[in-house]
Copies of this chain bind each other. A is one copy, B any other.
């Protein structure tokens, strides 16, 4: 079987550039209007994308004055989109730090039923410090503690999803036997962070459980991904670091006894596409002309765990001495690391750095014609940098429409990307093995259930 490219559309507001909301090419609807997300999900489905994805933060960002903040909550959004779409995978972010395993397990099992097996869970530990203050905590848990809780959390919810055998429900009206009590069991979890009796009150869902997605790229984050993740979103400013990450993650995954193809690595790509290179470059210029420095500074401060950069001048050339040690940042360590590496390498002005990061917040940005973008995608795909991409159009919907209309056909012509969906569940689409219940027959899978 030839290797298949995977494409996920990362839907964020009116586009991934922070000024997209002002650009003529961005959607007009309110960010609280479900029709906005429906239109984008249907466009991704028409392009036969694997899935769409929604990030999340458990606090309102600063700078509501100049940035488009405040939208819909991802789990309710996913449930609504499940009924408005038919085939596309749907991935929502939810936090292991600020939710209860029983609640999260129920909601995702329910989503998987409602969507007919198209759900993924982007597992996050919520690095934004402001979130803690919304959840009755004096201060944010430290990075290591957040991950310790995350490991146990995923263990608990996995047991809950395994607490019903796929064939537990008999629904036999004649005999009066609704379920086989021996095929539904309490989990009796007693751990350091959680004590959960179970069973879940939602029967086993079409995929058994949601596809596990993860996006942390710190050392601990990689270890977590190697253990649990089936798809990984990752941010790289250049191909070299993507190759290093890809290779390291596949190696770590194999070291834990998992097959390397059971973890799909999807770097972010934010491409400005034009019919000429100049037209593509003009997209960034237009977006940067609309920018407000306070938004980028607030974002940089948040990336570095609240560090204050306000004394720096916009035209000042930066050095690493202007930044705190990224390994001490109790927020998104891998992203802070990438930014300081870029500063050391390129010595940009603050303005140039903010413009660079405004595009895709530390993800890879590309600029070019559809042929050039398709070539970059193929290059990363065949060079061991990616199994596919987390597509982050700078402007929604127009830059995605160009991608779908002009880049996707090239990828198809090169035999890299599907023309039709050949599968039902997101798990199948990502080439992942069925999930057996840890409690019941080893050969029990959702395949049997649908047989």
Contact = CB atoms under 8 A, between A and B. Distances in A.
Contacts of A184: 60, 64, 70
A203 B30 CA distance: 10
A170 to B, nearest CB: 9
Contacts of A57: 201
A102 interface: yes
A150 interface: no
A178 interface: yes
B76 A195 contact: no
Interface in A55-106: 57-61, 64-73, 75-80, 82-84, 98-100, 102-103, 106
Interface in A311-330: none
A202 B134 contact: no
B32 A203 contact: yes
A176 B66 contact: yes
A76 B114 contact: yes
Interface string A173-212: 1001111110010000000011111111111010000000
Given A66-B177, A70-B169, A75 B114 contact: no
Interface residues of A, number: 77
A286 to B, nearest CB: 12
B205 A32 contact: yes
B76 A107 contact: yes
Contacts of A33: 113
Contacts of A84: 83
Nearest to A205: B32
B176 A22 contact: yes
B176 A292 contact: yes
Given A21-B178, A80-B114, A195-B136, A109 B202 contact: no
Given A32-B205, A78-B79, 7 more contacts: A60-B200, A64-B178, A65-B177, A73-B202, A79-B79, A83-B83, A102-B135
6 contacts: A22-B176, A31-B203, A64-B181, A76-B76, A136-B196, A176-B290
Interface of A: 19, 21-23, 30-34, 57-61, 64-73, 75-80, 82-84, 98-100, 102-103, 106-107, 109-111, 113-114, 130, 133-137, 164, 168-169, 171, 173, 176-181, 184, 193-203, 205, 290, 292
